[in-house]
């Protein structure tokens, strides 16, 4: 989420990354979703309230930038 926000992408991220709003909802591109850790219960609960949820939906504030996620591709979900 911070990488998207800090690079000017239109992501609301209203709660600032506290996993309390779902306005950082993204779709993780095929091939990357499987590399991410499973979402924690808080993320799953917030995604339940998001619109247009897909199997590859994640909250971008819960995706940690690391060597494993370097190059990850996501699409910002509609609000
Ligand atoms: Fe609010 Fe991710 S920024 S849930």
State which of 26, 59, 64, 74 you would mutate to test the pocket of ligand 1, scoring each by most atoms of that ligand within 8 A of its C-beta. Answer: 59
Inter-residue contact 18 to 60 (CB < 8 Å): no
Q: Model pTM?
A: 0.94
Report the sign of the C-alpha dihedral through residues 6, 71, 23, 59, in that order.
negative
Helix (H) or strand (E) holding 47: helix 41-47
> 7: CA distance to ligand 1 center in Å?
17
Residues of the chain with pLDDT under 50: none
Round to whole Å and give the CA distance between 57 and 14.
Answer: 18
pLDDT at 79: 82
Choose among 10, 63, 3, 53: nearest CA to 33.
Answer: 63
Which residue minimizes the CA distance to atom 4 of ligand 1? 19
Q: Spell out where the chain has E strands.
A: 25-28, 57-59, 74-76
């Amino acid at each position: 989420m911070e990488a998207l926000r800090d690079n000017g992408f239109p992501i609301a991220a209203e709660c600032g990354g506290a996993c309390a709003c779902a306005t950082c909802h993204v779709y993780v591109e095929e091939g990357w979703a499987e590399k991410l850790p499973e979402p924690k219960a808080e993320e799953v609960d917030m995604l339940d309230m998001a619109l247009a949820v897909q199997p590859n939906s994640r909250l971008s504030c819960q995706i940690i930038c690391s060597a494993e996620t370097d190059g990850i591709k996501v699409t910002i979900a509609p609000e």
